[in-house]
Amino acid sequence: MTKLLIVEDEADVRELVALVLREEGYAVDEAVDYTDGLALALTNDYDALVLDVRLPDGNGMDIARTLRRESRMVPILMLTAQRTPSDAVRGLDAGADDYLGKPFDVTELKARIRSLLRRGGPSRTDQLTCGTLVVNRLTRQALLAGERLTLTTKEFGVLEHLVAHAEQVVTRSALLEHVWERTRDPDSNVIDVHVARLRAKLQEGEGMPKISTVRGVGFMLTTST
Ligand code: CA
């Protein structure tokens, strides 16, 4: 049974999320505040969490941060108050896998949850794909429509991280931490330089992966159709 937790103090939003997800066949636990939410998330093995940012006694991002610190890799969807980049960036940096701005469409909520569950939590696969792109983490090779891409170590690292989080927004600081190991100034243009080089190596066309810029947040790898 797929088990989810929604942490949200606003009753109408919480009940809607729980209802919609139960209709999808998931078991859904509900928590109305930070304390209860964190306690539940730490004691149970959920398949995914939906966390509101603003809670009466704390911040949903701190729940995400605490879980990641404890190496709990449960997928997390953060509910942000507005479609503003700042909350989204903070949420992703706190360890959330995705975010959804309120008010949201229930169809989008269901799709985001399905996507989080598909990616799964801790299981890491050696071969990642996005459309015609295949990235192998063991051989550190990338094939685009069967043709091997010539990439530098850093370019491979950026591409690997984008493919591992395909169809999701990846922040600049996440890329910096993943590929450059030590935290640099997130405004540094080193990321843009590498993304520009990668874009030049990825061809356009049906099924081809494409790196989009998400203004003020980061990047997203998608498959063009
Ligand atoms: Ca709230």
Q: How many angstroms separate the alpha carbon of residue 207 from the centre of ligand 1?
A: 39
Q: What residues does each domain of the chain span?
A: 3-119, 127-223
Global pTM reads 0.59
What average pLDDT score do residues 23-32 get?
A: 89
Q: How many angstroms separate the alpha carbon of residue 116 from the centre of ligand 1?
A: 22
Q: How many angstroms separate the alpha carbon of residue 10 from the centre of ligand 1?
A: 5
**Which residue shows structure tokens 């998931």?**
26
Q: What phi and psi, each to the nearest 5 degrees, are found at residue 220?
A: -145, 130
* pLDDT tens column, 44-62: 888 899 999 999 999 999 9
Q: How many angstroms separate the alpha carbon of residue 217 from the centre of ligand 1?
A: 22
Q: What is the assigned CATH class of domain 127-223?
A: mainly alpha
* Distance (Å, whole) CA 57 – CA 60: 10
Which residues have CB less than 5 Å away from ligand 1 (the ion)? Answer: 9, 52, 54
Q: How many angstroms separate the alpha carbon of residue 87 from the centre of ligand 1?
A: 13
CATH number of 3-119: 3.40.50.2300
Q: How many angstroms separate the alpha carbon of residue 45 from the centre of ligand 1?
A: 23
Of the candidates 155, 93, 94, 167, the residue with the CA atom closest to the CA atom of residue 130: 167
Q: How many angstroms separate the alpha carbon of residue 131 from the centre of ligand 1?
A: 37
Of the candidates 121, 73, 66, the residue with the CA atom closest to the CA atom of residue 94: 66
* pLDDT tens column, 128-182: 889 889 998 767 789 998 899 999 888 988 998 899 899 999 998 888 777 765 5
* pLDDT tens column, 80-100: 876 667 888 888 888 899 999
Given a contact cutoff of 8 angstroms between Cβ atoms, the answer to whether 14 and 31 are in contact is no
Sign (positive or negative) of CA dihedral 28, 74, 160, 78 = positive
Q: How many angstroms separate the alpha carbon of residue 186 from the centre of ligand 1?
A: 29
